[in-house]
Amino acid sequence: MAAPLMTPAPEAVARSQMAAFMRQAGCSDYDALHAWSIRERGAFWRHVWDYCGVVASAPATDALVEAGDFHSAQWFPGARLNFAENLLRRRDGSTALVVACEDGARRTLSHAELYRATARLAAELRERGVGPGDRVAAWLPNGAAAVIGMLATASVGAVWSSCSPDFGVAGALDRFGQIEPKILIACRQYDYGGKTFDVSAKAESVRASVGSIEALLWTGDIERLVAGREAEREEEAVDFEQRAFDDPLYILYSSGTTGKPKCIVHGIGGTLLQHLKEHRLHVDLTPADTLFYFTTCGWMMWNWLVSGLASGCTLVLYDGSPFHPKPAALMDLIDAERITVFGTSAKYLSALGKARVVPRESHDLSSLRTILSTGSPLTHENFREVYRNFPGGIALASISGGTDIVSCFALGNPMLPVHEGELQCKGLGMAVDVFDEGGAPLARGKGELVCTKSFPSRPIGFWNDPDGAKYRAAYFEKFPGVWAHGDFAEFTEHGGMIVHGRSDAVLNPGGVRIGTAEIYRQVESIDAVVEALCVAQDWRDDVRIVLFVVLREGLELDADLVSEIRTRIRNNASPRHVPAIIEQVSDIPRTMSGKIAELAVRDVIHGRAPGNTTALANPEALAQFETARSATE
């Protein structure tokens, strides 16, 4: 058994919130605590509610009322609460938000200022007729206006839905056009990579195309309201609309690569309770912490980040290129803002290593306690690089869940060691399992990641799906009554988990199921390779693996490098993993949230039109796969 990369100090374990919670629950270790959280889900989630001090105007008589199937279970029926009220509990002069820009500009809002800003915008929304159930759409960068807009929307009981300003008009219409918002909040411009992009005409186009939009508020309008220059308001208190636990809070969107995005509706109480559990227990977040996540408003990690306010911490918001004006830009930010919990993507950590940035040699980073990574599987080499390049003792938590649950199925734990390539544990209250193709649990071996019991942050439904048919088809068709998440995963001997990629992108040469992450792990450990994408191609009554690689600038794929790639894969994975074809490309198509668009490439090399290309951040990248198709035939 390999030694862990990091083992938390006993004193750190003892003072963690997870340990305190476990002691209160009367459990001896994490395995016992997780087992209790599944066996007695109602008692567990009630304990989370009480431990985290959820603010509610009316309590629930029961935490959970089972109703025969996964989705019909009722969580905290009768409770009345407001999401924004729980995020705005701290109202003192300490810093709530730090907004950092590419050019080094910085502004802050205190908890008290954030509360007053929310009060002013909430009053404005009410004057414009926005109330419970109405939708407010936002096309914004990750800044103060987005946070204030969300809090004000939630304050009046309305529903928030956002995407980032780099979406095209078609992408925004695919999303906002379905949900019929009453208000659109947008920016006139945004900065990325040292360039300024004017998007005001795009916002006006969306406003004109969506008939339900009654008003367009620009970020400048919100800034004037916040500053109090547009209107002096005597009343600075927020009138928090009290809502039911499962009333809608957010509408998030699937990637939309195979058609129009699914509009996934998340409830108030489930989102709050799940995020409090993950922040307080799994991340050990306290009011003394400074939390950062590199995200846009179009990714669910933005919603997750903003919930950090419920734990009273400081949030650092950043919108722009993580490598501008230099590769170590975010490392500068860690030191400047004394960030304690740094969240990012596996792609960023890999790119940092490829850029040969060694933060422990160039930066202090003494404030940093935890690094969080999600978006795609973090490879074994990524784990090793982090522990080579960052100061020792940092907890690296690879986390996995998704937009569908606005949270995690497996994630970090301040009480447990970090093992190379592994997510540390199943999330508390999450009945996570791995099934084989026949629906039988697998203690070992690769299979479908599932959840067998209901949890509070399951979606309350899809928008415009009155009979729930689309919702059931999305999660429950593969294994009736069991949530099938669409990930290909396995448990480890340490009680952790490895995610091998999306199950719909699994390669199946000769009937052997192979996760794409297993190949990426080997290929991207080669210095010449920046990143890779592999797909299965139908071939002579079977399938074969086709691998595409992006190389360092100036390098060309030659016979020696092809041989090195194949040898690395054969020796460290298996002969079955070795691609039949390896081709060089200059770019890899990705979704707006940065995930590799394997299915779109698979369509292209089979001569099929890919799905909804407006869901891609760089659809132009598909053209080179059209060219590469001739080499695969």
- Could you give the domains of the chain? 10-71+79-491 (3.40.50.12780), 506-632 (3.30.300.30)
Q: Judge whether residue 355 has pLDDT over 60.
A: yes
pLDDT score recorded for residue 236: 79
**Two tokens, residue 38:** 């599944």
CA angle 93, 95, 101 (to 5 degrees): 145
Q: Percentage of the chain with pLDDT > 70?
A: 97
511, exposed or middle or buried, with CB in 10 Å at 0-12, 13-18, 19+? exposed
Closest among 250, 417, 412, 403 to 342, alpha carbons compared: 412
Residue type present at position 534: C
pLDDT score recorded for residue 632: 61
DSSP letters for 437-454: TTS-B-SSS-EEEEE-S-
Q: Judge whether residue 260 has pLDDT over 50.
A: yes
332, exposed or middle or buried, with CB in 10 Å at 0-12, 13-18, 19+? middle
Helix (H) or strand (E) holding 184: strand 183-186
Q: How far apart are CA 296 and CA 314, in angstroms?
A: 18
- Report the 10 Å Cβ neighbour count for 601: 26
Average pLDDT over residues 117-125: 96
Residue 445 and residue 492 in contact, taking contact as beta carbons nearer than 8 Å: no
Average pLDDT over residues 127-142: 97
Q: Is the peptide bond before 575 cis (omega within 30 degrees of 0)?
A: no
Distances (CA, A) of 69 to 280, 366, 449, 478, 550: 29, 48, 19, 15, 46
Mean pLDDT is highest, among 11-25, 219-233, 522-536, for 11-25
pLDDT score recorded for residue 633: 62
Average pLDDT over residues 156-161: 98
Which residues is 449 bridged to in the sheet?
434
Residue 582: which residues within 8 A CB-CB, separation 6 or more?
A: 547, 548, 549, 557, 562, 565, 566
- pTM, full prediction: 0.91
Average pLDDT over residues 488-508: 91
Q: How far apart are CA 385 and CA 381, in angstroms?
A: 6
Residue 527: which residues within 8 A CB-CB, separation 6 or more?
A: 552
Q: Judge whether residue 448 has pLDDT over 60.
A: yes
Weakest mean pLDDT among 32-36, 101-105, 126-130, 459-463: 101-105
- Report the 10 Å Cβ neighbour count for 15: 12
- Reported as half-sphere exposure (CB side, CA atoms, 13 A), residue 124 has a value of 27
